[in-house]
Amino acid sequence: GAVVSQHPSWVICKSGTSVKIECRSLDFQATTMFWYRQFPKQSLMLMATSNEGSKATYEQGVEKDKFLINHASLTLSTLTVTSAHPEDSSFYICSGFAPRNNQPQHFGDGTRLSIL
């Protein structure tokens, strides 16, 4: 149980385009979803916390206008990287969390974003 699906797994696009990444909880209702960024050989860096039906809470230093997060349902959250530039290239990972289940976060398989 507690499966989180993330799509796409890999995307390459030109500088200036916007990219949307989807995160779905397949067998549980994720009232909270987290978005992380991971650089090579480094740990996960929390970008933002999103609760279903509410605005996301961004960590210090993360531009909310650059990284748009929507959590419109209990099973889907999206991260849109707007006007992406090469420095936005990274590995983005989401996780789902349901406090009622008393279980920790379960992670998606990540999205490798490459901006040319």
Partner 1 sequence: QKEVEQDPGPLSVPEGAIVSLNCTYSNSAFQYFMWYRQYSRKGPELLMYTYSSGNKEDGRFTAQVDKSSKYISLFIRDSQPSDSATYLCAMSPNTDKLIFGTGTRLQVFP
Candidates 33, 37, 8, 36; CA nearest to 20 is 8
In the chain, % helix, strand, coil (3-state, to 5) comes to: 5, 50, 45
Q: Specify which residues 28 forms β-bridges with.
A: none
Stretch that binds partner 1, among 13-21, 67-75, 80-88, 90-98 (CB under 8 A): 90-98
Among the listed residues 1, 61, 86, 104, the single contact to partner 1 using CB under 8 A: 104
Give the count of residues interacting with partner 1 (CB under 8 A): 26
Residue ranges in contact with partner 1 by CB under 8 A: 2, 4, 6, 32, 34, 41-44, 46, 49, 91, 93, 95, 97, 99, 102-110, 112
